[in-house]
Structure 1
Amino acid sequence: MLSLITWILLLLSCNLFKYSASALREATIQYKPLPSLREQARIRDHWLKERISRIPSLLKKHGVDAWLMSQREHAEDTIWWSIKNATDYDAHRRTVLLFHTNESTLEGYPNPIKWVDNTGQVWPELLRVLKDFNPRRIAINIDQNIAFAGGLHVGEYDTTAQALGPEWMQRMVNVPLLGIEYVTTKLETQLEYYRDMQDIVWLMMEEGFSRHTINPGVTTTEDLSWWYREKMLTLNLTTWNHPRISVLTEESFPGWSGTDDIIQEGDLLHIDWGITAMGMNTDTQHMAYVLRDGETDAPDSLKQGLKKANRMQDIHLDIMRAGMTGNEVLENCLAQMKVQGIEGQIYSHPIGDWGHDAGAVIGFTNMPEHVPILGELAILPDTYYSIELYAYHFVPERNETIRFRIEENAHWDKETERWKFVKGRQEKFYLIDKSKDTPLWKVQV
């Protein structure tokens, strides 16, 4: 007869084999890694050089001769994060930058001219350059309404005014479109890596919305949110917002947090999140369904809700054109939705250097029909947009009207002069099937 110790070892080996077999079945997702951090820095600095080379023409386009920025460590101008080298973080000491139009008087000077100083010596040197160059209009970032044109801190403004004097301060002008256009314009070479980032996002959602991570009746939405955070670290990624996981009900509304529910069979799950890498950001919203016993697919009523949201995406991309204001796109979309009998809301935004990037917005959740200032901006070409919206749909089995919330990132296509989804869009739910093996995440062997 087998001894007790032998039986225990046999049981343990069977249990280990069970989880090893499960691991082989579940671990089918292969992530394409982004370049090493060192290579990423090289690529990003190449992009930066090309982007900065366009600034002189931008200055001329917007009728200014120079663009002056002054910032200190921990008090950076908003634009700093789009003009810094990949290996820079905070600005050093006081960093003053003067972009110019490459006029002959500044021939031989770098562009921008840069001073890093904590002694005050920057100011007489800046004054000497200004006298040589004699710019008539100098842009500074003092806009009251647009963050990408209002990043000059009050203390730095006062210091600059005191150092340069009224003669030069009279030439300072607020040109918000300068910062907006610089930040939001994307390079063609960025798209390859932005597609790779979208692939990673979709694969992470496929893995997260599966039995690999979810055990209905045990796993909570907060558990899943933190799984995404931990998973990002393993892929050398970070994020610009905490992944927000929700169980969608009639009361669920877009916001800044998810829910804290135990995930159950029959739940409709939702994620709103984005990753950060290569100096770029994504923003995506998808949905998943937890199958009940005996189900092999989501109910048709839920599928109809997703199709309605997909139809809103079609309307949005059909109408959206460069040169239109955000409010014009919104108004036309809402009118077309009404014609087609669709109720919902649109709140799209630029994306790229930031999760919520510079440029025209198309609706806000609290401003569903018209957005002052940001909605009145013209939509620029060569930009990325998050097409973010929800459709109302009544679900008879639940006696609830649910907001079907989806979001995809779109890029400007030069050939068609239209926006296209970078990866595609969600047209069917991720399915979590309780009949499969125990989740691998948090398994105690």
Structure 2
Amino acid sequence: MKLFYLVALVAAVSGQLHPSRPARYQKLPSLRERARIQDVWRDERVSRIPSLLEKYNADAWLMSQREHAEDTIWWSIKNATDFGAHRRTILMFHRNTASLKGQPNPLIWIDNTGDVWPELRSILKAYDPNTIVLNTDRDIAFGSGLHVGELAVLEEQLGKQWMSRVTNEPHLSIEFVATRVDGQLHYYRKLQEIVWAMLEEGFSHRVIKPGLTTTEDLEWWFRERMQTLNVTTWNQPRISVIVESSFPGWEGTRNVIQEGDLLHIDYGITALGLNTDTQHMAYVLRTDPRMPENDAPESLKEGMKKSNRMQDIVLATMRPGLTGNEVLRLCLAQMEREGIEGQIFSHPIGDWGHDAGAVMGFTNLPKYVPVLGELTLLPDTYYSIELYAYHFVPERNETLRFRQEENAYWSKGTQSWRFVRGRQEKYHLIDGRERNTFIIQT
């Protein structure tokens, strides 16, 4: 076991240290060009569906939805310039058999008159599928997007002949949504560098004035900065001053930022149909001439080293084919051997901030996650390596949680997980002695 971890660790963290240069804001393509790029990605992903149907022993995948009541999968198969389903939109993916030769895949109907149903029944009669997947799973959101009203209409219009062939297969949805295409990584790196550039700017004297700026001010600075960069977000940035009671949650704090504070952010950006999720920490230097600081205290650095080590363990242990719970159990066992206390709650990321696939822990389920934890890890996906390490800080007489999150991708070349843009190993430092340009608008 020790040899495995040594070999796996070298593969997992090679080239994964703190980036050697400051992050630079990246120029993304125009919205028009982004739409073209996203549609190319979409076409490549959709082209894989017939083979996925074969893998899961299904002949057809049927979705029916209306505007404002779209299937969850809609957002991963629509055109980049579609912002909702039109009227009633029905899609049927198939396995390109001879009976549907020359037919598009998927077959698409947009209708508000009822004319769609005779046509659909006629297609089904010609195709004669033995199994038809509907997204009706009870537990997995990506496989449960069929609204109850649409299910009732399908039962009425298709009748027992076809509804008797309906099956539930959530793994089809999971694998379709989770699997990436090669061309995305180039742009995902750009998004990650934008994230780091915002962090380096936001956690600096250019934005923060100790004794005046609040954590809420800083949250809204990040939101406003996104507007200038032509990106959006999938969650409100959450910024807090870390104290012993701090715990990962939905809200930041409403503190005035002071010298000596340990700051934490959890946020992500959205562009090109992709999402990021990052947690970093910053330290506000003390400027008292009697005891000035030029760096974070060693005790805080030791805390970050522990969470960095946990990242190493997670990346080394994540092997495609293992379940999320198996990865979690192996990671916790290795942490115990090394005397590290902490918690892991890592998740897939991509089309959604919390994407389809296996999770490794939740904040409220630290050792075993039903359903989602029993899914197996897939390659060719992105993951958010999200966790915290406990570390006692003598100067404060407190045990703090050192919380970090970085996005990783599966490298086909090394057959290992790698961070998209390194990881945080040094604190962002806010030095009030430097010339301060207070740019938060209140």
Aligned to 1:390: 388
Deviation string for 1:311-330 (max 9, x for gaps)?
A: 00001111110000000000
Partners in 2 of 1:141 and 1:74 — Cα distance?
Answer: 17
Q: 1:443: Cα distance to partner?
A: 8.0
- The equivalent position to 1:195 in structure 2, one of 189, 198, 209, is 189
Are 1:165 and 2:139 an aligned pair?
no
TM (normalized to structure 2)?
A: 0.93
Aligned to 2:92: 98
Partners in 2 of 1:329 and 1:234 — Cα distance?
Answer: 40
Partners in 2 of 1:367 and 1:193 — Cα distance?
Answer: 33
- The equivalent position to 2:262 in structure 1, one of 263, 268, 276, is 268
Q: 1:438: Cα distance to partner?
A: 2.3
1:383-422 map, 5 Å: 383-422=381-420
> Helix, strand or coil for the counterpart of 1:256?
coil
1:312-351 map, 5 Å: 312-351=310-349
Partners in 1 of 2:92 and 2:397 — Cα distance?
Answer: 61
- The equivalent position to 1:72 in structure 2, one of 50, 59, 66, is 66
1:115-126 map, 5 Å: 115-126=109-120
Question: 8 Å contact 2:218–2:440 — kept in the other structure?
Answer: no
Partners in 1 of 2:141 and 2:250 — Cα distance?
Answer: 20
Aligned to 1:376: 374
Amino acid at match of 1:138: I
Question: 8 Å contact 1:29–1:207 — kept in the other structure?
Answer: no
Q: Which has the larger radius of gyration?
A: 1
Q: 1:29: Cα distance to partner?
A: 7.3
- The equivalent position to 2:425 in structure 1, one of 390, 414, 427, is 427
> Helix, strand or coil for the counterpart of 1:392?
strand
TM (normalized to structure 1)?
A: 0.93
Aligned to 2:364: 366
> Helix, strand or coil for the counterpart of 1:387?
strand
Are 1:230 and 2:230 an aligned pair?
no
Partners in 2 of 1:207 and 1:286 — Cα distance?
Answer: 13
Partners in 2 of 1:225 and 1:138 — Cα distance?
Answer: 46
Structure 1 residues 200 and 157: alpha-carbon distance in aligned structure 2, compared to 1, 3 A threshold: same
- The alignment yields a C-alpha RMSD, in angstroms, of 1.1
Deviation string for 1:229-282 (max 9, x for gaps)?
A: 000000000000000001000000000111110000000000000000000000
Asked which structure has the greater RCO (Cα within 8 Å, sep 6+), the reply is: 2
Partners in 2 of 1:49 and 1:322 — Cα distance?
Answer: 25
1:11-22 map, 5 Å: none
1:265-304 map, 5 Å: 265-293=259-287, 294-304=292-302
Amino acid at match of 1:335: A
Partners in 1 of 2:232 and 2:428 — Cα distance?
Answer: 24
Are 1:82 and 2:76 an aligned pair?
yes
Q: 1:30: Cα distance to partner?
A: 4.6
Amino acid at match of 1:330: L
Amino acid at match of 1:307: K
> Helix, strand or coil for the counterpart of 2:259?
coil
Partners in 1 of 2:330 and 2:441 — Cα distance?
Answer: 51
Are 1:156 and 2:154 an aligned pair?
no
Deviation string for 1:147-173 (max 9, x for gaps)?
A: 000000000000111010011001000
Partners in 2 of 1:415 and 1:62 — Cα distance?
Answer: 27
Question: 8 Å contact 2:406–2:419 — kept in the other structure?
Answer: yes
Question: 8 Å contact 1:348–1:385 — kept in the other structure?
Answer: yes
1:34-53 map, 5 Å: 34-53=28-47
How many positions carry a matched residue from both structures? Answer: 417
Aligned to 1:217: 211
Question: 8 Å contact 1:345–1:391 — kept in the other structure?
Answer: yes
> Helix, strand or coil for the counterpart of 1:165?
helix
Amino acid at match of 1:34: L
- The equivalent position to 1:243 in structure 2, one of 237, 245, 266, is 237
Runs of 4+ in 1 over 6 A off after TM superposition: none
Q: Which runs of 5+ in 1 are unaligned?
A: 1-27
Aligned to 2:137: 143
Q: Which runs of 5+ in 2 are unaligned?
A: 1-21
Deviation string for 1:69-112 (max 9, x for gaps)?
A: 00000000000000000000110000000000000100111000
Amino acid at match of 2:320: A
Amino acid at match of 1:130: L
Partners in 1 of 2:150 and 2:200 — Cα distance?
Answer: 47
Aligned to 2:4: none
Aligned to 1:16: none
Are 1:107 and 2:101 an aligned pair?
yes
Partners in 1 of 2:34 and 2:276 — Cα distance?
Answer: 17
* Percent of aligned pairs sharing the same letter: 67
Question: 8 Å contact 2:217–2:440 — kept in the other structure?
Answer: no
Deviation string for 1:106-146 (max 9, x for gaps)?
A: 01110000000011111111000000000000001000000
Partners in 1 of 2:66 and 2:206 — Cα distance?
Answer: 46
Q: 1:415: Cα distance to partner?
A: 1.6
Partners in 1 of 2:233 and 2:193 — Cα distance?
Answer: 16
Structure 1 residues 235 and 164: alpha-carbon distance in aligned structure 2, compared to 1, 3 A threshold: same
Structure 1 residues 136 and 287: alpha-carbon distance in aligned structure 2, compared to 1, 3 A threshold: same
1:168-179 map, 5 Å: 168-179=162-173
Partners in 2 of 1:443 and 1:411 — Cα distance?
Answer: 36
